[in-house]
Chain A
């Protein structure tokens, strides 16, 4: 084989190797750093890239997609000395491949450790109750601190989430009992309150009833008194009128009234269904005497004309059934 033969073969190999070294296809989602003699010079973005063969070398292939790291479980002592087990996740994305390659030696580990220590410091400054109920606040504080810390590395931490917070078992049990006691207390208070309310309502009802009853009685008494007053007044007036009449007229008028009442009472006696035999005291007959009085009243009332009429009647044949004219009612 001649020298030219070997030269031709080697030349072809050299060209192929050179092309292989110079043409770089970077896949989407990655950035490659280029080092010239070991020193960073540029970053290749996704797509086809050419580098100077033999001088340049691909340094690091950096994942530019958002990535998630599991923050391993660790024990954290809260401000009130409870030991809780905590784990979480962190999401980060590289924005500057060069910084992520050369400013930090192991990016994943750095972020993990940074997050872990910050979880300890954030949660250590809170009480257990706060730790359990303020997860959002913890996440937010962690995010701010860690994000600020990783920024020199060309990285942005987008999110840190505390996954699990597990207090020790005996503490969980105590918390359960506390919650139960709290509920029982509330139930008891509610029941007592209900009873109190109902008793108040009942007493109020009774009171209202008594007041109303008393008011009714009072009203009735007032009305009774008024009635009595009125009737007394009427009696007084009647008596007055009678006495006036007597004063003006004859005493015999009095007799008329008495006789009138007497007869009415007598009539009632007779009307009564179980009283067929009526025993009258002898004095009752004196009532008849009052009839003479009636005649006298009639005389006094109707005066002479009546007397003459009576006389005429006595003389003439006036029917015996005719009664003297009625005394006008008072």
Chain B
């Protein structure tokens, strides 16, 4: 085994790199992909420049660590990249929509009926029956203003 690893030499890095990238698809977590890329990079460099295996390991570690900030810059998550951006964000979907106050807002708290449930809303004191607009969403708390 050790003989084989030694005899393969630089090829080890390339094989290791591709195995890591393949593993990435099975156990998703993205970072295995970066480790694989780092391994490939070390392999390519060691083809060009002869290095001891220790140096190669240290290089691999440095590349792997460096991958994170590079990847973070390249693949900055776009907030609206999802096909349904409001998945599990029911309240955010309500932002800007108008409803009729079911119970008046007294001391900053009233209710509106949305769908078949009742939502408590915060806002300036308003009589029942007024059209209000959702202006702010925070968790399950909706803030409304007269529409």
Report A's interface with B, CB cutoff 8 A: 4-5, 7-9, 11-12, 14-16, 18-20, 22-23, 25, 28-29, 46-48, 50, 64-65, 93, 95-96, 99, 140, 143-144, 147-148, 151, 154-156, 158-159
A148 vs B141: C-alpha distance when bound (angstroms): 11
Does B61 make an interface contact (CB < 8 A)? yes
Contacts of A64 in B (CB 8 A): 88
A21 vs B88: C-alpha distance when bound (angstroms): 26
Contacts of A5 in B (CB 8 A): 54
Q: Which of A11, A48, A159 contacts B61 (CB 8 A)?
A: A11
Contacts of B72 in A (CB 8 A): 50
Contact A23 B29 (CB under 8 A): yes
A229 vs B65: C-alpha distance when bound (angstroms): 142
Contact B61 A155 (CB under 8 A): no
Contacts of B138 in A (CB 8 A): 96
CB-based nearest A residue for B87: A28
Q: Which of B29, B57, B68, B87 contacts A12 (CB 8 A)?
A: B57
Contacts of A46 in B (CB 8 A): 87-88
Contact B34 A19 (CB under 8 A): yes
Does B46 make an interface contact (CB < 8 A)? no
Q: Which of B64, B68, B87, B91 contacts A16 (CB 8 A)?
A: B64
11 A-B pairs within 8 Å (CB atoms) are namely A8-B53, A8-B54, A8-B61, A12-B61, A15-B64, A16-B35, A22-B68, A25-B28, A28-B87, A48-B77, A154-B139
Contacts of A11 in B (CB 8 A): 57-58, 61
Q: Which of B5-13, B115-123, B125-133 contacts A (4 or more CB under 8 A)?
A: B115-123
Which range holds the interface residue count of chain B? Answer: 20 to 34
Contact B77 A12 (CB under 8 A): no
Contacts of B120 in A (CB 8 A): 147-148, 151
Q: How far is the CB of B55 from chain A (nearest CB, A)?
A: 8
CB-based nearest B residue for A30: B88
Contacts of A28 in B (CB 8 A): 87-88
Contacts of B68 in A (CB 8 A): 19, 22-23, 50
Contacts of A99 in B (CB 8 A): 139
The interface bits of chain B over 82-114 (1 if a CB of A lies within 8 angstroms of the residue's CB, else 0) are 000001101100000000000000000001000
Contact A47 B61 (CB under 8 A): no
Q: How far is the CB of A68 from chain B (nearest CB, A)?
A: 14
Contact A25 B29 (CB under 8 A): yes
Q: Which of A19, A96, A148, A156 contacts B35 (CB 8 A)?
A: A19
Contacts A12-B61, A93-B140 known; 19 new A-B pairs at CB < 8 A: A4-B54, A8-B53, A8-B54, A8-B61, A11-B58, A15-B64, A20-B29, A20-B31, A23-B30, A50-B72, A95-B91, A96-B138, A96-B140, A148-B120, A154-B139, A154-B140, A156-B117, A156-B140, A159-B117
A217 vs B55: C-alpha distance when bound (angstroms): 141
Contact B118 A147 (CB under 8 A): yes
CB-based nearest A residue for B54: A8
Contact B140 A95 (CB under 8 A): yes
Contact A156 B119 (CB under 8 A): yes
Contacts of A96 in B (CB 8 A): 138-140
Q: Which of B35, B64, B75, B139 contacts A95 (CB 8 A)?
A: B139
A262 vs B20: C-alpha distance when bound (angstroms): 157
A28 vs B28: C-alpha distance when bound (angstroms): 14
A267 vs B98: C-alpha distance when bound (angstroms): 118
A99 vs B111: C-alpha distance when bound (angstroms): 22
CB-based nearest A residue for B88: A64
